Amino acid sequence: MTITIRVNGAEQSVDAPEDTPLLWVLRDWMGLKGTKFGCGIGQCGACTVHIDGSAQRSCITPVARVAGGEVSVTTIEGLASEDSLHPVQAAWLEHNVPQCGYCQSGQIMSAAALLDQETNPDDERISEFMAANLCRCGTYPRIHAAIRSVADGGAS
Amino acid sequence: MSGVSRRELFRLGAAGSGALVLGMVLPGCATAPDEREPTRVGAWAPNAWLEIDPDGGVAFTLDRVEMGQGTVTGITTLVAEELDVAPENIEVVFAPVGDAYINPQYGLQVTGGSSSVRTSWERVREAGARVRAVLLASAAEVWQEPVASLTTEDGHVLHPAGTQRMAYKDLLALAARQSMPEEVTLRRPEDFRYIGKHNRRLDALAKVTGQARFGIDVELEGMRYAVVARPPAIGARLVAFDDARARELPGVIDVLAIERGVAVVAESYWQAMKARGELSIEWDESDAVKVTQESVFRQYRQAADDSAGDTERSDGDAAGVLENADGVLEAEYEAPFLAHATMEPQNATAMVTDRGLEVWAPTQGPDLARIAAARTSGYSPGEIRVHTTFLGGGFGRRLTQEYVEEVAEIASQRQEPVKLVWSREDDIRHDVFRPAMLHRFRGALADGRVTAWDHQITGPLIFDWFARNAAAAQYPWAPRMFYNTLASVGRMTEDTFLTPKDHSAIEGAVDVPYAVPDLRVRHTHADAGVPVSYWRSVGHSHNGFAVETFMDELAHRAGEDPVAFRLRHLEDSPRHRAVLERAAEAAGWGGSLPEARARGVALHRSFGTFVAQVVEASIEDGAIRVHRVTCAADCGRMVNPDIVRMQMEGGILFGLTAALYGEVDWDDSGRLKQSNFHDYTLMRHDETPELSIILVENGEDPQGVGEPGTPPAIPALGNALFALTGERQRRTPFRAGSADA
């Protein structure tokens, strides 16, 4: 069926079964490959996007839940502004975070949502919030330092 | 705010995935290096690695894949140094299959064994230096100046008077007529501009903006999606299937039997998955492998009792000394089967063209992938082009190519582009595992020194499984009907002049660094029929655990400090000593600790690199908690120090994950119990210890960094838990409070 969704500020229509997880609509219907498939059960966070500003796992979010254009979806492709990186992305570069890079879209979307909601989360809060995102390469210490630097105003 | 503009961002982002731009837009246009022609109009392609186009673009063909370990940055830095073009001005292209790109360490085009920088250190720098020499000679001709008087700087040749400079791109026509020098002089380390200095990863921008293209991101015109229903137990065979319900579902295009199961082809992955759930399949399990970790270790114990195994190292007379020694210390250790769990599940894409078969795969072995595709597609290797992508983690998993076998079979039957995606459940259940291994030790002590050491390792040889495609990949002209014969011959001739010795069971044990006069290391071959493969640090992952735990047990028996005890056995091993001393010092070894915490130490050399680690741990509410890891590493000269640091960080957390959680097991019917991240647990952000990495700087040749951080982390934690509780951890994953006393 035809579903209208608002992604990265633009309304789009896709012809997809309504129980399809948002993840696959973004990736395979809309070509937004930056959002990654990791587990399919909301355990790894690789598929994290913003739904009305909050970090959500798109692999367990049926596309029908964001249909109609009232709800706003943001993916990694929509995070940077017109002429500059998002502060979290800039901090990621500053701290040379990515290794294989596969989980990083999800990590960055989680971190950006956290920092949007809480201006100065402490270390424990960062750790607790970011525990939803797995990284097999072991970039957690750098992710932590990067988020810390933005929270402390270092990269903005 | 970052100084990177959005325009620059996308320019760099595109550069970071340049290979895919080439491969995906123009299928069939990747050129085999043996008949190398430039991939761009008017470009000069002087060798298998470099191409300079008339606009000044420099493309570097990277023959070691990027799976996080940093080849895009590290190896590009090597060619940048000698060509004298800034690394960020070089476009990286992932290599097709080609003889020039074979890894000299393995005779295959594989990325693994922490060998990329080691084996590229001379070869890639020489490739850059030869091209630079030709450009210099060309400029000398134009200016009529002696070559020796000219210098270069970031893509330009400089005139001796300092008044003129000529861009490389303006010398291409002249350069193309010059012959390549046989001998070149490489830049002296004190003159390095990029090696040892360039720190920012070249692929970082593409990876923080979602622009990096992994295998799972490949998109082709008219592409279908496939999933495969595979045998529920190892070795089960397909008898029959009923696809009536599946075929009625929307989006389903086809259901077909393939060698490895039943494939569902649909318009989307989601539709294919739903249809797979509606298949009714009958499997013949009469020959299925039905084992558990417990039954495998029972089998290994029996094998170890029955056979002393092959002697892999023998100094003096360990057996004789142990027979007559008092108070011989005996210990047995178990390391279980482990899954790789790369964040990007296995996948591959294939398409039939009028020239043959095109395959896109996140693979650690493009030549192995080509054989895998040839096995099932009906095309010969010469008709198959393999395009590699960024890899969402490798850790050895992507040296095995079943996903390529599957997609090649499906795409050639369907005659339309197909992307195959494994679900996470597929990925865990159908992994090729780190082998379970059993270790038995006997050791004798006198006057605070180890006098005798006998180590018996029991378990499989990985090459027995790896030979399947590796043997044929070395003979790509051989007809498909001989692939299995080649594999059998490869297995049978292991450790002869035909096939190199497989060290996977014994590495890290035969090279134990401690000075022990009577020392023996043995391997008893036992294979449970479970498919196994390389897993980050391979044999070192279990031998490091066993050797360094036993050394700790000996230190305790001798009543000695674990660091001092090790140092006493390292008189002639200065680099081992140095990392151990530095790690101990930085960790405050022997100093005070918060209450209810303890430290443990381990030292292990693998892939040429010396690593010592001190782990600080506690047990809180019945759970093991790692607070801090101090690591000292000596990998010789560092091409990119921050990537070395990253690899140590990642290697440590990979090891700790195995130590805390790593285990797969089967139920009585041969079904793997684990399936996803809720029951195959990886360390998470909130459990991450503080990491302190010390990099020892020296001018020795560069060694491996992708794996050496992993082995010592496991025993260092186990030894810390012993110091904390008095209970020795003799099997992984470790248990708080339930270990053997």
Pair B709, B615: CB distance under 8 Å = no
CATH numeric code, B6-208 = 3.30.365.10
Whether B17 has a pLDDT exceeding 50, the answer reads: no
User: B6 pLDDT exceeds 50?
Assistant: no
In this complex, do B393 and A137 lie within 8 Å of one another by their Cβ atoms?
yes
Q: Which residues 6+ apart lie within 8 Å of B173 measured at CB? A: none
Q: Is residue B311 pLDDT above 90, yes or no? A: yes
CA atoms within 13 A on the CB side of A58: 32
- Among partner residues B251, B423, B650, which is closest to A40 by beta-carbon distance? B423
Question: Where do the CATH 1.10.150.120 domains begin and end in chain A?
Answer: 87-151
pLDDT for residue A43 is more than 90: yes
pLDDT of residue B737: 76
pLDDT at A30 over 50: yes
ipTM of the complex: 0.98
| C-beta atoms of B219 and A31 within 8 A | yes
Kindly report the nearest CA distance between residue A96 and chain B, in angstroms: 6
Say if residues B153 and B207 touch (Cβ distance below 8 Å): no
Are A38 and A134 contacting, i.e. CB atoms less than 8 angstroms apart? yes
**Residue B465: pLDDT over 60:** yes
Mutate to test the interface with B, among A41, A43, A137, A139 (most CBs of B within 10 A): A137
Q: Could you tell me where in chain A the CATH 3.10.20.30 domains are found?
A: 2-77
Given pLDDT bands bounded at 50, 70 and 90, which one contains residue B539?
A: very high
Contact between B212 and A101 using a beta-carbon 8 Å cutoff: yes
Three-state secondary-structure class, residue B261: strand
- Is any Cβ of chain A less than 8 angstroms from the Cβ of B6? yes
Contacts of B212 in chain A (CB under 8 A): 101
Report d(CA B289, CA B670) in Å as an integer: 7
Confidence category of residue B3, pLDDT binned at 50, 70, 90: very low
DSSP state of A35: S
DSSP string, B363-413: -S-HHHHHHHHHHHHS--GGGEEEEE-B-S--TTGGGS-HHHHHHHHHHHH
Q: What does the pLDDT look like over B59-112, one tens digit per residue?
A: 999 999 999 999 999 999 999 999 999 999 999 999 999 999 999 999 999 999
Residue of chain B whose alpha carbon sits nearest to that of A124: B686
With a CB cutoff of 8 Å and minimum separation 6, the contacts of B182 are none
Q: What is the pLDDT of residues B385-439, one digit of tens each?
A: 999 999 999 999 999 999 999 999 999 999 999 999 999 999 999 999 999 999 9
Q: Classify B627 as helix, strand or coil.
A: strand
Taking the C-alpha atoms of residue B370 and residue B358, their distance in angstroms, rounded to an integer, is: 10
Residues of B in contact with A111 (CB under 8 A): none
Nearest to B6 among A37, A43, A80 (CB): A80
From B372's Cα to the closest Cα of chain A, the distance in A is: 24
Interface of B with A in 371-430 (CB under 8 A): 390-395, 421, 423-425
Give residue B36's pLDDT: 64
Cβ atoms of B393 and A102 within 8 Å: the answer is yes
Q: Which CATH superfamily is domain A2-77 in?
A: Beta-grasp domain (3.10.20.30)
Give me the residues paired with residue B605 across strands: B610
Chain A CA closest to residue B224:
A28
Long-range contacts of B171-175 (CB under 8 A, 24+ apart): B171/B135, B171/B138, B171/B139, B171/B142, B172/B42, B172/B43, B172/B44, B172/B52, B172/B54, B174/B138, B174/B141, B174/B142, B175/B44, B175/B46, B175/B131, B175/B134, B175/B135, B175/B137, B175/B138
Whole-angstrom Cα distance, residue B595 to residue B593?
6
Q: Which of A89, A135, A137 sits opposite B209 (nearest CB)?
A: A89
Given a contact cutoff of 8 angstroms between Cβ atoms, the answer to whether B83 and B134 are in contact is no
Please indicate whether, in this complex, the C-beta atoms of B688 and A21 are within 8 angstroms of each other. Answer: no
Q: What percentage of chain B carries pLDDT values higher than 90?
A: 92
pLDDT in tens, B341-366: 999 999 999 999 999 999 999 999 99
Would the pLDDT of B7 be above 60? no
In this structure, which CATH number among 1.10.287.110, 3.40.50.1370, 1.10.3290.10, 1.10.150.120 belongs to the domain A87-151? Answer: 1.10.150.120
Region A36-45: mean pLDDT is: 98
For domain B215-286+346-421, the question of CATH label 3.40.1280.10 is answered with no
Q: Tens digit of pLDDT for each residue in B503-527?
A: 999 999 999 999 999 999 999 999 9
The pLDDT of residue B738:
53
- pLDDT tens by residue, B279-289: 999 999 999 99
Query: What HEC string does B643-678 produce?
Result: HHHHHHHHHHHHHHHHHHCCCCCECCCCCECCCCCC
Q: Where are the domains of chain B?
A: 6-208, 215-286+346-421, 294-337+435-462+502-725
B6 and A82: CB-CB below 8 Å?
A: yes
pLDDT of residue B19: 28
Which of B343, B344, B627, B687 would you mutate first to test chain A, the one with the most A CBs within 10 A?
Answer: B343
Radius of gyration of chain A (CA): 15
Q: Do B654 and A144 touch (CB under 8 A)?
A: no
Supply the mean pLDDT for chain B: 93
Query: Virtual CA dihedral for B585, B589, B590, B593, nearest 10 degrees?
Result: 120
Q: Spell out where B183-297 has E strands.
A: 224-229, 237-242, 252-258, 261-266, 280-284
pLDDT tens digits, one per residue of B255-272: 999 999 999 999 999 999
Residues above pLDDT 70, as percent of chain B: 95
Residues 320-359 of B with CB under 8 A from A: 341-345
pLDDT digits (tens, 9 = 90+) for B627-676: 999 999 999 999 999 999 999 999 999 999 999 999 999 999 999 999 99
* pLDDT(B28) > 70: no
Domain B6-208 and domain B215-286+346-421 have a common topology: yes
Q: Mean pLDDT score of chain A, rounded to an integer?
A: 96
Q: Give the residue on A whose Cα is nearest the Cα of B707.
A: A137
pLDDT confidence tier of residue A154, bands split at 50, 70 and 90: low
pLDDT at B31: 38
Residue B1 has pLDDT above 70, yes or no: no
pLDDT at B11 > cutoff 90: no
Note the CATH number of domain B294-337+435-462+502-725.
3.30.365.10
Q: Do B250 and A17 count as a contact with CB atoms less than 8 A apart?
A: yes
Average pLDDT for residues B581-600, to the nearest whole number? 97
